[in-house]
Amino acid sequence: MLVICRAVIRNLSFYAVMIIAAVLLQVVFGGDPWTLWSPYAERADDPLPLQIGLGVAVGLGVVLLSRVGSSWFEWSRQLDRWFREVLGPLDGREIFAMALMSALAEEIFFRGFLQPRLELVPTAILFGLVHFPFEKRLWPWTISACVMGFVFGGMVESQGTIVAAVLAHFTVNYFNLHVLVRPLAVSTR
């Protein structure tokens, strides 16, 4: 259990560094760090409850698609097995912390800092590429991360803030982590 705790702490530390880097880079490039939350503030006219609802709804839709994919496609089941091996067992607090920190850090850095500078397409592609495993059988993860980069980026551009994207990202990670850390059922196929 101590090894897993160290792995979780290492991951959480990485995400904390990512947030700090985004804030520092924002300041270095002459921006107000608070604009990382609303990179397109001029478009931010939807009320917060609508942004929250959009984020949760999109996140749940992606969770459903990923679970359907795991029941239909071998590549998706391979991804699930790989994540299960890499993550090991996690308790509810660890899952919550990992889902929250990864969603906050990645959305602040990619959508809050990079996207206003690079635009949607390069940022979404870069987001996919940083999710690149060095095993060919896991490339679908890179492709799905790239697609999610477009989804999250589109949400930020349409909403003006990263609120919906953070909640969608959190929802995807939170529920998928709960599925991934439980033991694999024996397949009868």
Instruction: State how many domains the chain has.
Output: 1
Residue 162 belongs to some domain of the structure: yes
What pLDDT is attached to residue 96? Answer: 92
The answer as to whether 116 is a domain residue is: yes
Is 189 inside any structural domain? no
Q: Give the residue-averaged pLDDT of 52-75.
A: 92
- The Cα–Cα gap between 102 and 108 comes to 10
Show the tokens assigned to 37: 């939350």
Report if residue 185 sits inside a domain: no
- The answer to the question of residue 41 being in a domain is no
Q: Is residue 67 part of a domain?
A: yes
Flag the least confident range among 43-57, 63-77, 156-170, 174-188: 174-188
Name the pTM for this structure.
0.88
144 domain residue, yes or no: yes
Q: Would you give the end-to-end CA distance of the chain in angstroms? A: 33
Domain that holds residue 20: 2-32+48-180
In this prediction, residue 41 carries a pLDDT of: 86
Residue 6 lies in a domain: yes
Please compute the mean of the pLDDT values over residues 113-131 and round it to a whole number.
95
